[in-house]
Amino acid sequence: MSEQMAGAHNGFERLLGRIGRKSLGAVAWLGDMASITASSLALLFAPPWQGKHFVLQLYALGVGSFVIIAITGAFTGMVLSLQGYYTLAKFGSESLLGSVVALSIIRELGPVLGALMLVGRAGSSITAEIGIMRVTEQLDALQMMAVNPQARVILPRIVATTIALPLLVSMFDIIGLIAGYVVGVELLGVNAGAFTGEMIAKVLPEDLYAGWTKALAFGVLVGSVCTYIGYRAVPTTEGVAKATTQAVVIGSVGILMLDYVLTSFFL
Amino acid sequence: MIRAEKLTRRFGDTLALDSTNVHIREHATTVIMGGSGSGKTTLLRLLAALDTPTSGSIWFDGDDLAHVSRKRLYELRARMGMVFQYSALLNSLNVYDNVAFPLHEHTRLDESVIRTMVSMKLEQVGLRGFERLMPSELSGGMAKRAAFARALAMDPEIVFFDEPTSGLDPISAGVVTTLIHDLTQKTRMTSVVVTHDVHAGLSIADHVVLLWQGRIIAEGTSDEIRQSSDERVRQFIEGRPDGPIPFSSSKTPYIDDLLGGATERFG
C-alpha cells in the first residue's frame, strides 16, 4: 500500500517537474522573442534607413495576400448573412440583419480571420524564407558584410505585417459587407433600406477603431512570431519545416488569445 | 594579423575546440585542415567573429573580437571577406547585385563606378558576362566563384574560405584553388582556408594547421607537414582508415553492442 502511495507520489512529482520545465521553457522563449523583436524595432530609426525594403516587403506580403483575404471576406459576409437571417427570422427581426453582419465583421471576424489568413499565407513564407537563409548561411553572409540581419531581414517584415494587416482587414470588411448585402437583400429578400439603415445606425466610430486596433496588434504579433521562429530555426531541412508549422500554429493560437484580451478591453 | 589565444568552444557537453592558440600570418595563406568534427569550421567561425568562444581571446589589430562591440565589429568587418561552404549568395539577387551588395551598402559610389568594379571582380573569377544569372541558375563552381567575387568586392585585407572545394568536380575544385592562390599572391591579402582536401590545402598553404579533436596536432609549412613523422599526421595526409585516428566515432566496442542485444534477449 505504502509502495503504491510512494509510486503515485513520484509520478505526481515528475508531472509537476515536467509542467515546471515546460513553463520555464515557454517563459524563456517569450523573453527571447520579445528581446529579438524589441532590438529589431529599436533599429527602426537608426541608419541606414530601410525604406526600400519596407516597401518591397509591404508589396510582397500585403498585395500578395489580397486575393485570399478578398475570398475569405466575401464568403464570411455571405455565411453571416445566411446564418443571421435564419436566426433573426425566428424572432421576426430580419431588418436587424445589416447591423448584425456589420458589427460581427468589423469588430471580430474581419481582424481575426484576416490575421489568420495572413499568418497562413504570408507568415509561413516569412518563417520559411528566414529559416532557409539560416540554413544556407545567408544570415551569416550578411553579418560578414557588416549588415545587421535584424535590421535588414526582421525589421522590414514586422513593419510590413503591421502596416499591411489593418489595410487588408479594411478590404476584408468592405468585401464582407458587400457580400452580406448581396445575400441578405438580393437572395433572401431583406429590405435594402432596412439593411443599410441599420448598418449605418448601429456601427459607431468606436467599432471601427476597435477593429483597426486589433488588426494593428495582430500585425505586430504575426510579424514578431513568424520572423523570430524563422530566425531561431534549427539550420536543417527538418528544422525549417518544423519552424514553419510552429509559426502557423503559435501565430494562430496567439491571435485568438490576444483577441480575447483586446475584446475584453473594448467591450 | 590575427592571434587567437587559449580559444575554447563548448556546445553543451561537447568540447569543439580546446584551449587552442593560432597565429594567422599577414599576406600569407593559412590552411586549417582536419577530419570531420575536428573543430576546424568552429575555429574559422570564431576567427571571423561569427561565433563567440566559451573562453579565450581573438586579437585582430588590437581589438579582441570575442569582446568587441557590434559597432566596432562591423567597422572591422569592412576589412574582412568570407566565402561560405554553400556560397551563401543572396537568393533574391542576381550575380551582379550579389557582388555589388557590399558596395551598395557601405559606399556612396556612383552606379557606373560600381558597375565597373563589379565587372573587374567578376573578370578576376572568370564570371564576367554572367551578371544577370540568379544563384539558382549557377553550377556549384560558378556559385563559389561568384561568392569569391563578392568577398573581394570591398578589397578586404583578410578573406576566410570555408571548404572552398567541397562538392565540386576536380576541374572546378582546381580552378577555385588556383584562384585563391593567385589572388592571395597578386593582391597581397591574407587568406584563411578551412578544408579537408589534403592535396588542395597543401598546394596553396604558406602555413598549415592540423586539428584533431579540437586541438592542434601539427603546424608548419606544407613540406614540414608532408615530412612529419607523427602517425596521426601521416594517417590524415595519406588518408589511411587504420591508425591512431579512429574511423568510427562510437564510444563502446561493437562486440559489446552485439552481445548486449543477445544478453537482453536470452538473459
B94-140: pLDDT as tens digits:
999 999 999 998 888 999 999 999 999 999 888 888 999 999 999 88
Given a contact cutoff of 8 angstroms between Cβ atoms, the answer to whether B208 and B220 are in contact is yes
- Using the predicted structure, report yes or no on whether residue A2 has a pLDDT greater than 70: no
Determine the 3-state secondary structure of B15 from DSSP: strand
pLDDT of residue B1: 81
For chains A and B, CB pairs below 8 A equal 46
Residue A117 Cα, gap to closest chain B Cα (Å): 25
pLDDT value of position B134: 95
List the single residue in A with minimal CA-CA distance to B75. Answer: A146
What pLDDT is stored for residue B197 in this prediction?
A: 85
Percent of chain A with pLDDT over 90: 67
Question: pLDDT value at position A155?
Answer: 93
Q: Do A145 and B75 touch (CB under 8 A)?
A: no
B264 confidence band (pLDDT: 50, 70, 90):
low
The string of pLDDT tens digits covering residues A25-40 is 999 999 999 999 998 8
* Residue A198, pLDDT score: 86
pLDDT per residue over A58-84, tens digit each?
898 888 899 999 999 999 999 999 999
Supply the pLDDT for residue B198. 87
pLDDT, mean over chain A: 91
pLDDT of residue B250: 65
Residue B261: pLDDT band (50, 70, 90) is low
- State how beta strands B55-60 and B158-162 pair: unpaired
Of B81, B88, B106, the CB nearest to A137: B88
Strands B55-60 and B29-34: unpaired
Closest by CA to B87, choosing from B36, B47, B145, is B145
Least confident of A59-73, A204-218, B99-113, B244-258: B244-258
For the ranges A39-53, A164-178, B181-195, the lowest mean pLDDT is seen at A39-53
Q: What is the ipTM of this complex?
A: 0.85
What is the reported pLDDT for A130? 95
Three cell numbers, residue A47: 541608419
pLDDT digits (tens, 9 = 90+) for B176-191: 888 888 888 888 899 9
What is the pLDDT of chain B when averaged over all its residues? 87
Give the residue-averaged pLDDT of B88-92: 91
pLDDT, position A95 = 82
Give residue A9's pLDDT.
76
Q: How far apart are CA A206 and CA A105, in angstroms?
A: 14
CA closest to B51 among chain A residues: A140
pLDDT of residue A104: 93
**Stretch B207-222: mean pLDDT:** 90
Mutation site for B-interface testing, chosen from A43, A133, A138 by largest number of B Cβ within 10 Å: A138
Tell me the residue type at A116.
L
Chain B residues close to A145, C-beta within 8 Å: 77, 101-102, 105, 150
Rounded to two decimals, the pTM is 0.84
The whole-angstrom distance between residue B169's C-alpha and the CA centroid of its chain comes to 19
Taking contacts as CB-CB distances below 8 angstroms, the residues of chain A near B50 are 140, 143-144
Listing DSSP states for B177-232 in one string gives HHHHHHHHHHH--EEEEEES-HHHHHHH-SEEEEEETTEEEEEE-HHHHHT---HH
DSSP one-letter code for B7 = E
Nearest to B88 among A141, A146, A148 (CB): A141
